[in-house]
Amino acid sequence: MDTPAVPMPKDDRERQILEKLTLIRDDLLLLKRDRTKYIRTQDVMLLYDKLVDQVKQLNEIRKGEHHSENQLDKVLESCFQLISLFFMTIGRTTEVPAAYALTSTIKRLLDHLTESRLFSAKDLHSISNTLSKLDSILQNADSQHSPYLVELLAKRETLCKSMLTNLRKQLEELDEPLQEIYERLISILRSMSLANTKAKFSVTEVQKLRSKLQEISDSMVDGKFVDAEGREYRGSHVVSDLLRRCLQWSDIVLEKKGVIPEAFKDKYNILINIRNELEKLSITQAWSLRETDLYDFQRQLDKIDEARGADGNWLDQDGQLAELYVQRTLLYLIRRSYGYIYYLMNSSEPVSEALLPIYNQLQTLKRCLIEVKNSGGVGSVRELYPYSMKLNSIDNMRVDGKFMVGNDIPEGQGSVTDLLAECFDLAYDLRVAAEEKEEGGDESPAPPAVAQ
C-alpha cells in the first residue's frame, strides 16, 4: 500500500497507534484478497473492534483538538474505507460503518459536479435519496459503534447536504421549459463523451449527436431562448452557454477522433480499464461483485484524480498542461467510474456473500414467477413443477429454519427467508389459478338455447 506523501506523527503515542492501525489495515487487505472462503462476520467484527479501540485511544490523545493531517489520518481513512466495504460484503448494509464508503463516494461525486457545473436533476435526486437513507442509519446508530465514526459521518452528511442545496439552487434559476432543454444537453454531452471513449470511434455517432445540438440552437431567437410571446426565459444565458460548450466539445471530439497524446496514454488506459471493469460489474453485480473489490478501484481513481494541480489539470513529464481534449476525456472517465462505484455500493444487498448464491437464485425465481403471472398464468399445475421443485430444494437447505454455511449462520437470514416466502406465495397463487382453470375445463358446456 502506498501512503500519500504526508508527514509522520510527531507525538510518540500517535506513532504507536499508527503502527497498530497499519497492522489492522494489512490484515483487512489480506482478508480482502483471500478468495478461498467466504468473508465471515466474526472475522470482520474482530478487526472492527480493534480499529474502534485505536480510535478511542486517538481521541483521548487529541481531545477533540484540530491537528494537521499526518500519515496516521491517511491510514485511519483506509481502515474505515475497508471496514465499511466489509460491512457491505457481510450484509450489514444498514449499520453505521457501511455508510462510511458511500459518504466518501458521494462527497467525491458532489465535488466533481460542483467543479464541472454539468449535472442533471436526476443526479441530484438520486444523491438526495441516498443521503436520506444515510440519515436514517445515523439516527438509529446504536452504542456498539464508535461515537467518533458517527460524528464523522454526521459532519460529512451535513457537508454533502449543503453542497446538494447549492447545486439545486443553480437548476432552480432556470425557468421550467429551460430545465428540460438543459437535461437534454447534459444527456447529449455525456453521450458524446461516451462515444469519444469507445474502443472504435464512430464519426457518424458523434455527428448525429451534434445535429441534435444544432436543432436546439436553431430553436433560439437572436441567441436567446424565448417563450411564445418572445420574452426571454429566466436562465437563458446559462443554457445558451452550456449549448456553446457542447458544440465546442463536439468539434473537438470530431477533430481528435478518440486519439490521446502519448504523454497521457498511460493514465487514459488505466481509466479505460477501470471504467470497463466497473461497467461489467454493474451488469453482473448480483453474481460477481464482492464489495471489498471496489477499494482497489477507488484507490486508483483517487490517486489519478488527486494528481491534478490547483487548476484541475494534469501535467506531462515535461511539466506541460494537458490540452483541453485530454483534460475533459480523463475527467469524464474518472467521473463515470465514481458513478459506477456509487451505483454498486447503493445496490449492495443486505445479505452476506455466503448467502448471495441462494438469494440470487430466489431473485431470479421471483422474476420468473411474476412474469408467468403477468402473462396469464399457467395452463396446468404440472407446468409449475420445475418452480416448486427448485423452491423446495432451497427450503430443504435450511437447518432449524436457518441457512448455514458450515457451522456459520451468515447475515441476511431474514432477507432470504422473506424472499423464499414471497416465491412460495407466488407459486401458490399460480397453482390455485391453474386448478380453477382445470376444474372449469372439466365442466360440460351448457346446451344452446332453442328458439321458440
pLDDT digits (tens, 9 = 90+) for 268-279: 999 999 999 999
196, amino acid identity: N
Indicate whether 241 belongs to any domain.
yes
Which residue, 389, 394, 385, is CA-closest to 362? Answer: 394
Distance (Å) of CA 209 to CA 204, 214, 249, 257: 9, 9, 11, 14
Could you tell me the three cell numbers for 239? 443554457
For the segment 241-270, the average pLDDT, to the nearest whole number, is 96
Indicate whether 451 belongs to any domain.
no
Indicate whether 374 belongs to any domain.
yes
Helices H, strands E: what count in the chain?
15, 2
Which residue, 97, 104, 92, 102, is CA-closest to 150? Answer: 97
Could you tell me the three cell numbers for 261? 497524446
Indicate whether 57 belongs to any domain.
yes
Domain endpoint, select from 221, 237, 256: 256
**Which of the four pLDDT bands, split at 50, 70 and 90, describes residue 308?**
very high
**Which of the four pLDDT bands, split at 50, 70 and 90, describes residue 6?**
confident
Is pLDDT of 286 > 90? no
Indicate whether 402 belongs to any domain.
yes
pLDDT at 139: 87
| Window from 18-22, 56-60, 210-214, 298-302 with minimum mean pLDDT | 56-60
Indicate whether 313 belongs to any domain.
no
> Could you give the 3-state DSSP secondary structure of residue 398?
strand
Indicate whether 327 belongs to any domain.
no
Could you tell me the three cell numbers for 119? 449535472
Q: Contact 79/87 with Cβ under 8 angstroms?
A: no
| Reported pTM | 0.89
What is the per-residue pLDDT across 61-93, written as a single tens digit (0 to 9) for each? 888 676 778 899 999 999 999 999 999 999 999
Cβ atoms within 10 A of the Cβ of 300, count? 15
What is the per-residue pLDDT across 141-162, written as a single tens digit (0 to 9) for each? 877 788 888 888 999 999 999 9
Structural domain count of the chain: 3
Domain endpoint, select from 256, 288, 309: 256
Q: Contact 123/112 with Cβ under 8 angstroms?
A: no
Which residue, 64, 42, 140, 152, is CA-closest to 95? Answer: 140
Could you tell me the three cell numbers for 301? 481513481
Indicate whether 250 belongs to any domain.
yes
pLDDT at 92: 93
Query: Terminus-to-terminus CA distance in the chain, angstroms?
Result: 96
Comparing 394 with 11, the larger pLDDT belongs to: 394
pLDDT at 452: 34
pLDDT averaged over every residue in the chain: 91
What is the per-residue pLDDT across 337-383, written as a single tens digit (0 to 9) for each? 999 999 999 999 899 999 999 999 999 999 999 999 999 998 889 99
Domain endpoint, select from 232, 256, 280: 256
Domain that holds residue 411: 356-439
For the segment 256-283, the average pLDDT, to the nearest whole number, is 95
Contacts of 272 (CB under 8 A, 6+ apart): 197, 333
For the segment 12-24, the average pLDDT, to the nearest whole number, is 94
What percent of the chain shows pLDDT beyond 70? 95
